[in-house]
Amino acid sequence: MQKGKLVVLGSINADHILNIEHFPRPGETVLGQQYKVAFGGKGANQAVAAGRSGADISFIACVGQDDIGERIRQQLSSDSINTQAIEAVDGETTGVALIFVNQEGENVIGISAGANAAVTPDYLSKHQKLIENADALLMQLESPLETVMAAAQLARKHNTQVILNPAPARELPDDLLSNIDVITPNETEAEKLTGIAIKDDASAQQAAEVLHQKGIKTVLITLGSRGVWLSQNQQGKTIPGFKVKAVDTIAAGDTFNGALVTALLEGTEINAAVRFAHAAAAIAVTREGAQPSVPWRKEIDSFLQ
Ligand code: ADP
């Protein structure tokens, strides 16, 4: 089978996660229970989901000149990702998320963009051939917005399909939205983009209409365990997800996006591509963690049998 080429442009983070009894107050020190470092960042999670589900994928990103950056690059290679466009930036640290999780499972997070901020339009132009020669470009919003906008514009010029997962939630300029082919907000992100709270089918379709009016042909609003709202040609419907026993929904959306793009690049029509992505995300929510929970192609195929 002839597979299309995918480029992911996005973030790489090292997540430092500490479980503690309660969040420290200013000046307080709290002894933690369990500490771990996990590889994350929405760009990296989605690249891993695409690589493991079978895409021919290159990843444009930056790490710092540090040990963890090198370890992350090696891990991404072993997840079937071409890492030639991941550079280690002089004098920078790899992006970091410092995460406290309390006994109620709530979290507080501080982020240092670090080397992710070095994914500038100049950096993009060094690797622009990848986008020019690709069939699809998948991005999120953890990279500088001016780079996301420049990449979308470049892709449009070269007939590379643009898929945007608009996370984390923020408003976006029309100049960017008009260069997007497929957008995949969750309910919070859809509300932030359109001003319409997603409460039912009618409001989901209203939000989709706003995005269609900006020039986006395919709108997929992810609805957690309920699946997605798919709208094309001004017509919308729910495509339900799979019922599984969820233990940890971290990276559900990232897994959905990576697998969706893999299927689209294999020429799968949209309904079946969404079903494939639902299966990948359903497997991911039955397992703990972000990247460790992302399934390989064999697992998705046998889930769907
Ligand atoms: P995000 O993680 O970006 O907030 P969602 O929560 O909307 O995204 O979930 C994205 C996709 O992950 C859903 O469309 C669905 O395929 C899958 N998913 C999420 N939660 C569950 C769940 N509890 N059971 C099965 N699938 C789920």
Residue 209 confidence (pLDDT): 98
Using one digit for the tens of pLDDT, what is the confidence trace for 208-252?
A: 999 999 999 999 999 999 999 999 998 999 999 999 999 888 899
Task: Over range 99-114, report the average pLDDT.
Answer: 90
Residue 115 confidence (pLDDT): 98
pTM exceeds 0.90, yes or no: yes
Ligand 1 site: residues with CB under 6 angstroms? Answer: 167, 186, 222-225, 227-228, 241-242, 244, 246, 249, 252-253, 256, 278, 281-282, 285
Which residue shows structure tokens 């420049």? 150
Closest C-alpha residue for ligand 1 atom 16? 278
Would the pLDDT of 194 be above 90?
yes
* Closest ligand 1 atom, residue 187 Cα: 7
Mean pLDDT over each residue of the chain, to the nearest integer: 96
**Of 108 and 2, the one with more pLDDT:** 108
Residue in 110, 79, 107 with CA at minimum distance from that of residue 95: 110
Would the pLDDT of 117 be above 80?
yes
Element (H, E) at 109: strand 107-112
Element (H, E) at 45: helix 42-53
Would the pLDDT of 293 be above 80?
yes
> Does the interface ipTM go beyond 0.90?
yes
Closest C-alpha residue for ligand 1 atom 13? 224
Task: Over range 97-115, report the average pLDDT.
Answer: 91
Task: Over range 73-102, report the average pLDDT.
Answer: 96
Cα 266 to averaged position of ligand 1 atoms, centre (Å): 23
Residue 248 confidence (pLDDT): 86
Residues tagged active-site:
254
Cα 66 to averaged position of ligand 1 atoms, centre (Å): 33
* Distance, CA of 141 to CA of 136 (rounded, Å): 17
Residue 1 confidence (pLDDT): 53
Using one digit for the tens of pLDDT, what is the confidence trace for 169-181?
A: 999 999 999 999 9
Cα 255 to averaged position of ligand 1 atoms, centre (Å): 9
Using one digit for the tens of pLDDT, what is the confidence trace for 18-36?
A: 999 999 999 999 999 999 9
Would the pLDDT of 164 be above 90?
yes
* Distance, CA of 128 to CA of 234 (rounded, Å): 33
Contact 10, 43 (CB under 8 A): yes
Closest C-alpha residue for ligand 1 atom 17? 281
Closest C-alpha residue for ligand 1 atom 21? 225
* Closest ligand 1 atom, residue 246 Cα: 23
Cα 28 to averaged position of ligand 1 atoms, centre (Å): 36
Band the pLDDT of 201: cuts 50, 70, 90.
very high
Beta-bridge partner residues of 89: 64
* Distance, CA of 10 to CA of 26 (rounded, Å): 33
Would the pLDDT of 3 be above 80?
no
Residue 34 confidence (pLDDT): 93
- Ligand 1 pocket mutation pick from 140, 191, 256, 260 by most atoms within 8 angstroms of CB: 256
DSSP 24: P
Residue 2 confidence (pLDDT): 62
Cα 198 to averaged position of ligand 1 atoms, centre (Å): 15
Would the pLDDT of 56 be above 90?
yes
Closest C-alpha residue for ligand 1 atom 5? 224
